[in-house]
């Protein structure tokens, strides 16, 4: 008999396993199904056996679902992505800018996620590049990393993009790439925040009007999109700019916390009441001096809110622009370090899995759980019998 995995009870997986719920579409249902069986025998396992004749202990290593929405997965992928970004950081200031969409758009976005998330990325990128191109602020092309989040602390639908922007950029003079440092404005920011609010609003709403004219939006009969756009032109939009990071290491720490984050981690879930069918979780109340508070939801409502944050299949939630654009990025980074008279970044080294586990998590892949010797040998690989429907 195959033993079950041991886990803490208060997890998103536990809620999904014990709450009857039908998702709103096949894609999100497939994602929720994968989260239910992550690291259980249903997804298969590697079976190891201790080679010590006295010990002979068995160890089942259950396969993970590897879905990007899973609170249990993504650790190694996140670390690898961050390692790659380390090789692109420069000894300059970096700024954090957040572009938020007004809640009046929520019902429209929920029915048109892909096109309107893409518009959010595009409008925020164009806003930053427009100010960066102005000689008054920079007069160069910066590097931008943009990360989409769709949730608030209470699991509400709150789409916004976090941007990390370099405090400088590249200019090309007679086909020679040169680096130019930015000058902070009087408030210590990279670009004027109020002006960014206005430009971002105009770019997003102009894009929304074009999509409407091209019949690329699916709208409920109750939504008067022209009236909504008219109202939103009069509303103040929120672009939140922070003071610059303390240095490249602070950027790395930030990326480690936010890039591969899911809507809610298991550590925030404090109580699951099976009799009352409720879930209690912690949240930070930004309106009340960032105090930690608790919220209790019906378990079905908890899953409904969680489902809102499952991205469209194949949607890219982390994007790079400016000199960090994917095409030719390595060459530009090398040209920048040359221009700044810095040593070239070291080449990437791919470490074996067992080394990654040891260095990052202190896990010895072949250590026997019983005798604590590195004597585990692979006996069997059992693959799942169930089809993997979606990698979303």
Domain boundaries, the chain: 12-70+354-383, 88-263+309-339
Task: Answer whether residue 184 shows pLDDT above 80.
Answer: no
Cα–Cα dist 119/129, whole Å: 15
Question: Which of 98-102, 232-236, 237-241, 359-363 is the least confident region?
Answer: 359-363
pLDDT the model gives residue 242 = 84
Q: What pLDDT was estimated at residue 11?
A: 94
pLDDT band, very low/low/confident/very high, at 389 (cuts 50, 70, 90): very low
Q: Which of 263-272, 294-303, 339-348 has the lowest mean pLDDT?
A: 339-348
Query: Would you say 163 and 155 are in contact if contact means Cβ atoms under 8 Å apart?
Result: no
d(CA 330, CA 325): 10
Is 36 a residue whose pLDDT tops 70? yes
DSSP letters for 183-221: ---TTS-SS-HHHHHHHHHHHHHHHHHHHHHTT-----T
Give the span between the Cα atoms of 127 and 124, in whole angstroms. Answer: 5
Predicted confidence band of residue 388 (pLDDT cuts 50, 70, 90): very low
Q: What average pLDDT is seen over the chain?
A: 89
Give residue 390's pLDDT: 43
Q: How many CB atoms lie within 10 A of CB 78?
A: 17
Rounded Cα gap, residues 138 and 183, in angstroms? 7
pLDDT, position 6 = 43
* pTM of the predicted model over 0.85: yes
Residue 391 has what pLDDT? 44
Pick the closest to residue 99 from 160, 142, 56 (CA basis).
Answer: 160
CA-CA distance, 4 to 39, in Å (whole number)? 9
Whether the CA torsion 225, 227, 229, 235 is positive or negative: it is: negative
According to the model, what pLDDT value does residue 368 have?
Answer: 94
Instruction: Determine the 3-state secondary structure of 235 from DSSP.
Output: coil
For the chain, what percent of residues have pLDDT higher than 70?
91
Q: How many CB atoms lie within 10 A of CB 98?
A: 16
């Amino acid at each position: 008999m195959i033993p079950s995995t041991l886990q803490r009870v208060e997890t998103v997986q536990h809620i999904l396993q014990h709450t009857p719920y039908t998702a709103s579409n096949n894609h999100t249902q497939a994602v929720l199904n994968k989260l239910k069986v992550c690291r259980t025998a249903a997804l298969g396992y590697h079976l190891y056996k201790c080679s010590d004749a006295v010990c002979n202990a068995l160890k089942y290593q259950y396969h993970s679902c590897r879905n990007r929405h899973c609170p249990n997965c993504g650790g190694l992928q996140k670390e690898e992505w961050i390692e790659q970004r380390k090789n692109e950081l420069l000894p300059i200031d970096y700024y954090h800018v957040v572009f938020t969409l007004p809640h009046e758009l929520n019902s429209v976005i929920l029915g048109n996620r892909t096109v309107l998330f893409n518009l959010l990325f595009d409008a925020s990128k164009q806003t930053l590049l427009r100010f960066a191109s102005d000689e008054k602020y920079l007069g160069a092309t910066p590097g931008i990393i943009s990360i989409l989040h769709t949730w608030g602390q209470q699991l509400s639908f709150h789409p916004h993009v976090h941007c990390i922007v370099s405090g400088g950029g590249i200019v090309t003079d007679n086909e020679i790439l040169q680096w130019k440092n930015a000058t902070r404005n009087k408030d210590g920011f990279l670009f004027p925040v109020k002006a960014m609010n206005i430009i971002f609003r105009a770019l997003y709403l102009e894009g929304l009007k074009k999509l409407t004219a091209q019949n690329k939006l699916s709208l409920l009969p109750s939504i008067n999109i022209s009236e909504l756009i008219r109202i939103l032109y009069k509303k103040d939009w929120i672009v939140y700019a922070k003071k610059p990071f303390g240095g490249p290491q602070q950027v790395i720490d930030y990326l480690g916390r936010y890039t591969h984050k899911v809507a809610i981690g298991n550590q925030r879930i404090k109580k699951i009441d099976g009799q009352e069918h409720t879930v209690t979780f912690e949240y930070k109340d930004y309106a009340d001096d960032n105090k930690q508070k608790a919220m209790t939801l019906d378990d079905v409502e908890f899953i409904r809110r969680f489902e809102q944050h499952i991205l469209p299949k194949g949607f890219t939630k982390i994007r790079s622009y400016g000199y960090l654009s994917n095409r030719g990025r390595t060459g530009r980074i090398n040209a920048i370090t040359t221009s700044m008279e810095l040593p070239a970044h070291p080449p990437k080294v791919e470490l074996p899995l067992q080394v990654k586990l040891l260095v990052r998590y202190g896990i010895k892949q072949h250590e026997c759980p019983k005798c604590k010797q590195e004597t585990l040998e692979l006996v069997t690989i059992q693959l799942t019998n169930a089809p993997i429907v979606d990698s979303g």
